[in-house]
Amino acid sequence: MRFGFIIPTGDPRMVGELAHEAELAGWDGAFYWDGIAVGGEVYDPWVVLAVMGMRTERIRLGLMLTPPARRRPWKLARETMTIDRLTNGRLVLPVGLGATTDPGFANVGEPTDRVTRAELLDESLDVLTGLWSGTPFRYDGKHYSFEEMAFQPTPVQMPRIPIWVAAAWYRPKSMRRALRFDGVMPNPLDERGNHRRETPEDIAAIQTYVWEHRKATTPFEIVVEGVTPGDDPAATAAIIGPRAEAGATWWIESRWEAPNQPEDLRQRIRQGPPRLG
């Protein structure tokens, strides 16, 4: 299992500094959040990722997570390619429908209904992977269409930048979307369709589903997130150990709630990633 850390607060220089500290402390990934809301203290996520890329040399970088429904896919292709080249092939792209409570959706007139966001997600992924190939590519979809063009330069990572897809478990259409790419961030639902915490049993079932239904033989990640106490190895092992044994391949330390100011984050980062065994 590999371990990432989300840095949800701080100005760009501070986020870059914390990403550097995460690398020094042995974390495998550092992530920012994809926010484009007009109000509040929000920095452009792709500029922040560039800062993180310049302050690190080894760890994976990404945003948790990008909803393509509110971005033009050709611009997203250019941004992701640029970061991938800047970091010598260290970018990962987590994607999903996005939370409609984010002011970057309804407050600025972006579509919020699930069906439209899902259509835009699927078309955006088609466009991204087609453009990243660097070969002549045209597209004719419901929402996007353009004549043949060749996108240059291509990302460092080929055949594509790894894409992790947030997927509802268990909804076959949502899971099939994730299986087309390189990883799943499972979102288990209860009998009423509401989000619930994933269990090791969920992860084991997802791993079996991947084995049985995914045609590609390339690596595939099962990505889960949560919070661990960096000063209590036994409690941390009790949280993460069963998930790792069930098949999870990434744990993302996700301190979205307070206390999560830069100095709080720095303290947990310096404690290092969880140790199993």
Per-residue b or e along 21-50, where b marks 16 or more CB atoms closer than 10 Å to that residue's CB: bbbebebbbbbbbbbbeeeeeebebbebbb
pLDDT tens, 194-251? 899 999 999 999 999 999 999 999 999 999 999 999 999 999 999 999 999 999 999 9
DSSP class of residue 106 equals G
Q: What is the pLDDT of residue 102?
A: 75
* Tokens, residue 87: 């970091």
Candidates 3.20.20.70, 3.20.20.30, 1.10.540.10, 3.10.20.30; CATH matching 2-271:
3.20.20.30
**Tell me: the pLDDT tens digits for 92-114?**
999 999 877 777 777 777 888 99
- With a threshold of 0.85, does the pTM exceed it? yes
Q: How far apart are CA 70 and CA 238, in angstroms?
A: 38
Does the pLDDT at position 85 exceed 70? yes
- 166 close to 94: Cβ distance less than 8 angstroms: yes
User: Domain spans of the chain?
Assistant: 2-271
